[in-house]
C-alpha cells in the first residue's frame, strides 16, 4: 500500500509540475488567441446590426476569403514551432532569429501570390453559388481586408518565435491592446463615421497591425538578447529547404482550416442561403472562439514536445502530451455542456433576427459535438508539429477531410436533402472523427526516445557550421 501511495504521490507531483510548465504557455496563449479571435466576433457583431446582407458579407469575406489564406499562412508559420522549439531546447539560441527572418521572407512572398483571392473574390463567390448581393458586398470587403492579409506574414512568425522561448505574456499583453483598438475602431468607423461594413474591415486592419508592431518592438527592442542579434544574411540561405518545411506545415493545418470554409460555401447553395450562411457563420464563430483554447494547447504541447525532444528527453515529451490531452478534454466537455444549456440563446450575441436565432438553435447540438471533438484533435496536431511530422499529418488530413468527410457531406445534402445539419454532420463524423482516431493511434504507438534522437539530429542538420550569425543590422 505504501508503494502504491508513493507512486500516486510521485505521479501527481509530476503531473502538477508539467501542468505548471504547460500553462506557462497555454494560459497567456488562450488569452491572446481569444482576444485575437474576439476581434472578428466584435466586427461581426457590429456588422450584424447593419443588416443580414452586411453580416453575411463580412462573414463570407472574413471566414472564406481571409480564412483560406489565414489557414495556409498560419500553417506555414508553424514550421517555426518545430525549428525554434527544438533549437531552443538544444540551446542553439542564435538560430531562432535566423529562422524568424526566413519565415518573414517566405510568408511575405506567399502573401503576394495569394492576392488574386482578394481581387477576384466576387466572381469566384458567384461561381460557387453565393447570392449576388452577398457576393458583390463580400468582394468589396475582401479588397479592404488586404492589409489584414499582409499582417499575417509578420505576426504569425513573431508569435511562434516568442512562444518557443516561453515569452507568452508579452503576446497576451499586445493582444489585449489589439482587442481594445478593435473595439474603439469599430465604434468609430461604423457608428460615429458611418462607414458601414467597409468600416468594419478597416477596424480589423488597424487592430491586427497593432499586434504586429507591438510584437516586433518587443523582439528587436532588446528583450530577446540571446535569440535576436540583428538582421542576418544567413536568413537568405537555405530558403528552399525552409520553404518545403513551411509548405508541409501549411498543408497540414490549412487542410483542416479550408475544410470548414468549404462547409460555409456549400451552405451558400442551399435554399434561403442568407439565413443558412448567417446561422452557420455564427456557429463557426462560436466554434472558432472556443477553438482558441485547444489551439492554445496546440501551441503549448508543440513547444513542450519540441523543447523536450530537442533536449533529448523523449519520456518528458510523452508525458507533456498526456497532460495536454487530458486537460483539454476536460475544458472542452465543460464548454460542450454550456452550449447545450444555452442552445436557444447563444445567437443573440450576433443578431436579433428570430429566423437566424432559430436556425442556430437547430445546429447547437452539432456545435457541441464539434467542440468536444476539437478538444482532442488540435493537441495531437500540436504533438505532430513539435515532433516534425508535418508531411505525414498533411497526407492524413487530406485523405480524411477531402476523400471521406467532404464527399459524405455532399451525399448528405444532395442525395438525402438533409440541409446544413446533414452537410456539417457528414463532414464532422466522416472527416474530423476519423482523422482524430488516426492521429491518436499514431501518437500512442510513438517511440519517444527514437523521436528525441531524431530531433537532436535535426537540430544539428539545421544548425550546421556555416549557419554562423552574420548581422547586417543590429
Q: Are 304 and 25 in contact (CB under 8 A)?
A: yes
What is the average per-residue pLDDT within 436-442? 91
Residue 471 lies in a domain: no
* pLDDT at res. 3: 67
Into how many domains does the chain fold? 1
**Average pLDDT score over residue span 381-410:** 85
Q: For residue 308, give the C-alpha cell.
A: 523536450
Taking residues 318-326, what's their average pLDDT?
91
Could you tell me if residue 13 is inside a domain?
Answer: no
What average pLDDT does the segment 352-365 reach?
A: 81
Contact between 122 and 61 under an 8 Å Cβ cutoff? The reply is no
Q: Which of 51, 34, 27, 70 is nearest to 285 (CA)?
A: 34
Give the least confident one: 4-13, 144-153, 193-202, 203-212. Answer: 4-13
Task: Output the nine-digit C-alpha cell for 293.
Answer: 483554447
Helix residue ranges, H only, 164-195: 168-186
Report residue 470's pLDDT band, with 50, 70 and 90 as the boundaries.
very low
H or E element that contains 405: none
Say how far apart CA 432 and CA 450 lie, in whole Å: 28
Q: Which pLDDT score, from 0 to 100, does residue 466 have?
A: 46
> What pLDDT shows up at residue 9?
78
In angstroms, the CA 356 to CA 53 distance is: 12
- The whole-number average pLDDT for the span 453-461 is 76
**pLDDT tier at 389, thresholds 50, 70, 90:** confident
| Closest by Cα among 142, 173, 125 to 70 | 142
Q: How far apart are CA 405 and CA 430, in angstroms?
A: 4
Q: How far apart are CA 320 and CA 301, in angstroms?
A: 7
Which string of DSSP letters, residue by residue, matches 282-344?
HHHHHHHHHHHHHHHHHHHHHHHHHHHHHTT-HHHHHHHHHHHHHHHHHHHHHHHHHHHHTTT
CB count within 10 Å of CB 127 equals 10
pLDDT tier at 153, thresholds 50, 70, 90: very high
Task: Look at residues 201, 375, 207, 205 and name the one whose alpha carbon lies nearest to residue 292.
Answer: 375
- Residue 261: pLDDT over 50: yes
Band of residue 474 on the pLDDT scale cut at 50, 70, 90: very low
Mean pLDDT within 302-328: 89
Tell me what pLDDT residue 272 has.
61
Note whether residue 2 is domain-resident. no
Q: What is the pLDDT of residue 212?
A: 96
Q: Which residues lie below 8 Å from residue 341, measured CB to CB, with a gap of 6+? A: none
Counting every residue written for the chain, the total comes to 474
- Residue 121's alpha-carbon distances to 52, 113, 202, 247, in angstroms, are 19, 15, 18, 24
Cα separation, 71 vs 73, whole angstroms = 6
pLDDT confidence band for 467 (50 / 70 / 90):
very low
Q: Reply yes or no on whether the pLDDT at 206 is more than 90.
A: yes
The 3-state DSSP class for residue 115 equals coil
User: Rounded to whole angstroms, how far apart are CA atoms 62 and 292?
Assistant: 17
pLDDT value at residue 211: 95
- pLDDT score of 332 more than 80: yes
Query: Tell me, what's the pLDDT at 473?
Result: 36
Task: Give the C-alpha separation, 226 to 50, whole Å.
Answer: 50
Confidence of residue 11 (pLDDT cuts 50, 70, 90): confident
pLDDT at 310: 84
**Cell match 458601414: residue?**
196
Maximal C-alpha separation, the chain: 73
- Mean pLDDT over 348-363 rounds to 79
Cell of 24: 506557462
If you average pLDDT over residues 97-117, what whole number do you get? 93
Residue 386 belongs to a domain: yes
Burial string for 359-372 (b: 16+ CB within 10 Å, else e) reads: bbeebbebbbbbbb
Residue 461 — very low, low, confident or very high, per pLDDT cuts 50/70/90?
A: low
Residue of 299, 304, 300 lying closest to 317 (CA atoms)? 304
What pLDDT score was predicted for residue 471?
A: 35
Mean pLDDT computed over 411-436 = 81
The pLDDT assigned to 265 comes to 67
68 found inside a domain: yes
Q: What is the pTM of this model?
A: 0.80
Q: Is 472 helix (H, G, I), strand (E, B) or coil?
A: strand
Structural domain includes residue 76: yes
Q: Which pLDDT value is given to residue 242?
A: 84
Identify the helix (H) or strand (E) that includes residue 473: strand 471-473
* pLDDT in the model for residue 472: 36
Residue with cell 442552445: 343
- Report the range of poorest mean pLDDT among 8-17, 229-238, 279-288: 279-288
Residue 465 clears pLDDT 50, i.e. is over it: no
Do the domain assignments include residue 10? no
Rounded Cα distance, 143 and 352, in Å: 28
* Mean pLDDT across the chain: 83
Q: Averaged over 248-261, what is the pLDDT? A: 74
Indicate whether 71 pLDDT > 80.
Answer: no
Return d(Cα 244, Cα 252) in angstroms, integer: 12
Q: Can you give the pLDDT at residue 468? A: 40
Is residue 135 within 8 Å of 192, Cβ to Cβ?
A: no
Cell numbers standing for residue 461: 542538420
Q: Is the pLDDT of residue 180 over 50?
A: yes
- 191 falls within a domain: yes
Q: What is the mean pLDDT of residues 445-468?
A: 72
Q: Which domain holds residue 183?
A: 20-465
Amino acid at each position: 500500500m505504501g508503494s502504491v501511495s508513493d507512486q500516486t504521490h510521485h505521479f501527481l507531483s509530476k503531473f502538477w509540475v508539467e501542468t505548471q510548465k504547460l500553462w506557462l504557455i497555454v494560459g497567456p496563449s488562450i488569452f491572446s488567441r481569444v482576444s485575437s479571435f474576439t476581434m472578428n466576433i466584435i466586427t461581426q457583431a457590429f456588422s450584424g446590426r447593419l443588416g443580414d446582407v452586411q453580416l453575411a458579407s463580412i462573414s463570407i469575406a472574413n471566414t472564406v476569403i481571409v480564412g483560406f489564406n489565414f489557414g495556409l499562412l498560419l500553417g506555414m508559420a508553424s514550421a517555426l514551432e518545430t525549428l525554434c522549439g527544438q533549437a531552443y531546447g538544444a540551446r542553439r539560441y542564435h538560430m531562432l532569429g535566423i529562422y524568424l527572418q526566413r519565415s518573414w521572407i517566405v510568408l511575405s512572398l506567399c502573401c503576394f501570390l495569394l492576392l488574386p483571392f482578394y481581387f477576384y473574390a466576387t466572381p469566384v463567390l458567384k461561381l460557387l453559388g453565393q447570392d449576388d448581393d452577398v457576393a458583390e458586398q463580400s468582394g468589396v470587403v475582401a479588397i479592404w481586408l488586404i492589409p489584414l492579409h499582409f499582417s499575417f506574414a509578420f505576426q504569425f512568425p513573431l508569435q511562434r518565435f516568442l512562444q518557443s522561448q516561453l515569452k507568452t505574456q508579452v503576446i497576451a499583453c499586445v493582444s489585449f491592446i489589439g482587442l481594445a483598438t478593435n473595439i474603439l475602431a469599430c465604434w468609430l468607423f461604423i457608428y460615429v463615421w458611418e462607414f458601414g461594413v467597409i468600416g468594419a474591415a478597416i477596424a480589423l486592419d488597424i487592430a491586427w497591425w497593432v499586434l504586429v508592431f507591438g510584437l516586433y518592438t518587443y523582439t528587436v527592442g532588446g528583450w530577446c538578447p540571446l535569440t535576436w542579434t540583428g538582421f542576418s544574411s544567413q536568413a537568405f540561405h537555405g530558403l528552399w529547404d525552409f520553404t518545403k518545411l513551411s509548405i508541409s506545415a501549411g498543408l497540414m493545418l490549412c487542410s483542416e482550416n479550408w475544410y470548414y470554409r468549404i462547409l460555409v460555401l456549400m451552405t451558400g447553395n442551399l435554399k434561403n442561403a442568407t439565413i443558412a450562411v448567417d446561422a452557420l457563420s455564427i456557429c463557426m464563430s462560436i466554434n472558432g472562439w472556443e477553438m482558441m483554447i485547444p489551439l492554445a494547447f496546440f501551441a503549448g504541447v508543440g513547444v513542450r514536445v519540441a523543447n523536450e525532444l530537442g533536449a533529448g528527453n523523449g519520456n518528458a515529451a510523452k508525458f507533456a502530451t498526456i497532460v495536454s490531452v487530458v486537460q483539454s478534454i476536460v475544458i472542452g466537455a465543460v464548454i460542450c455542456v454550456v452550449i447545450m444549456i444555452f442552445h436557444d440563446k447563444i445567437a443573440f450575441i450576433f443578431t436579433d433576427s428570430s429566423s437566424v436565432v432559430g436556425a442556430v438553435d437547430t445546429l447547437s447540438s452539432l456545435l457541441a459535438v464539434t467542440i468536444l471533438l476539437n478538444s482532442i484533435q488540435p493537441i495531437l496536431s500540436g504533438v505532430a508539429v513539435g515532433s516534425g511530422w508535418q508531411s505525414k499529418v498533411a497526407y492524413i488530413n487530406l485523405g480524411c477531410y477531402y476523400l471521406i468527410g467532404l464527399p459524405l457531406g455532399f451525399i448528405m445534402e444532395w442525395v438525402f436533402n438533409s440541409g446544413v445539419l446533414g452537410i456539417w454532420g457528414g463532414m464532422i463524423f466522416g472527416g474530423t472523427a476519423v482523422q482524430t482516431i488516426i492521429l491518436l493511434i499514431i501518437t500512442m504507438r510513438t517511440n519517444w526516445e527514437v523521436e528525441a534522437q531524431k530531433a537532436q539530429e535535426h537540430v544539428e542538420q539545421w544548425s550546421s557550421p556555416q549557419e554562423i550569425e552574420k548581422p547586417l543590422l543590429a
